Amino acid sequence: MMGLRTRRFVAAGRRPWRHAMLVMVLLVGACNATAGAGVGRNDSEAAHWYRQAAEDGVPEAMVDYAGMLAAGRGVAKDEAEAVRWLRKASALDSVRAMVELGVMLADGRGAARDDVEAVRLFRTAADQGNPLAMRNVGIAYGFGRGVIKDEAEAARWYRRAADLGDTGSLFNLGVLYERGRGVAEDKAMAAELYRKAADAGHAQAANNLGVLYAEGKGIPQSWPEAAKWVRRGAERGALTAQVNLATYLIDGRGVEKDEVQAVQWLRMAADRDDPRAQRLLGRLMMDGRGTERNPAEARALLLKAAAQGDAAAKRYLGQLYDTNLR
């Protein structure tokens, strides 16, 4: 039986604003350019008209145009110019602009990184009832970015946003309850929050709920329920869920054993550079399980996993070279 390691969260990256609390939900911006109704999508035309309206002083058009500039859609990418327009819109009390500008300043995009100013913008938008801004204030407190780290305060902000239906904050708050960070540990409460977020479409929350079912923490242990929720997360694109589901399929936990299907899920995750997926897929390929035996590709996958620090992949490579397996 291959090792079942129910990894729930991806380690935080270099941008905690983007990956809060062990893959807490991303900072969310509001800029979205959508296809025009009945006229066909045309990014250049969209940017042109957004700019026209922006120059006429329409704050939301300034935000729309800034979004095009930041993404390089319909215009040359220019994050500094995007920041300039967002500052103008923020000065005109656009809540969307405050959130977008805060994200860019927190990431140091288009301007020098300024966590303190980012938090000020998020707070201002939050005070006007914006749940995304509330979540970002929570992330700031969770990581101590622009404020003194205070996980209890982070939980308070997530709860405010969650009460307004923000699924990312439901998930973030669930992580805090599961880990007992900023709140008393309560895995039953974590499961409840994950379920609410998962029912609203949050992929990682579905995975985390499945893992709680697998471990029997906060809810009765059930492999079928674990597999059901992890599959839901995998189908919605959660990387950790795709790998977890593959391990269930390999071991036949909560689902019928199916190594062919496991290989399919592992390929998806390996293509996204997940080291655990690369390692597991490499081992299956080396043994010809669920797919044709392919030692060359297996070694390539194992080397990729090892290069990302996967200790199990390093040991397995050592075993391969030690025994001269072909």
Q: Which DSSP string corresponds to 34-58? A: ---TTT---HHHHHHHHHHHHHTT-
N residues, the chain: 326
Write down the pLDDT at residue 21: 37
CA distance 269 to 67: 30
pLDDT at 40: 78
End-to-end CA distance of the chain: 22
Enter the DSSP assignment of 149: -
How far is residue 107 from each of residues 27, 64, 153, 193, measured CA to CA in Å? 10, 19, 22, 29
The phi, psi pair for 20, rounded to 5°, reads -85, 145
Are 301 and 285 spatial neighbours (Cβ–Cβ below 8 Å)? yes
Cα 314 to chain center, whole Å?
Answer: 27
Kindly list the distances between the CA atom of residue 292 and the CA atoms of 106, 284, 296, 301, in Å, as whole numbers in the listed order: 47, 9, 12, 15
Which helix (H) or strand (E) segment holds residue 62: the answer is: helix 59-71
**pLDDT at position 163:** 96
Which CATH architecture is the domain 258-325 placed in? Alpha Horseshoe (1.25)
SS3 24: strand
Q: Which pLDDT does position 275 carry in this prediction?
A: 96
Predicted local confidence at residue 244, as pLDDT: 97
pLDDT digits (tens, 9 = 90+) for 167-215: 999 999 999 999 999 999 999 999 999 999 999 999 999 999 999 999 9
Q: CA-CA distance, 214 to 206, in Å (whole number)?
A: 12
Residue 55 has a pLDDT of 97
**Sequence letter at residue 306:** A
List per-residue pLDDT tens for the chain, 326 residues long: 343 333 333 323 333 333 333 333 334 344 444 444 566 789 999 999 999 999 999 999 999 999 999 999 999 999 999 999 999 999 999 999 999 999 999 999 999 999 999 999 999 999 999 999 999 999 999 999 999 999 999 999 999 999 999 999 999 999 999 999 999 999 999 999 999 999 999 999 999 999 999 999 999 999 999 999 999 999 999 999 999 999 999 999 999 999 999 999 999 999 999 999 999 999 999 999 999 999 999 999 999 999 999 999 999 999 888 886 55
Distance CA 201, CA 59 (A): 31
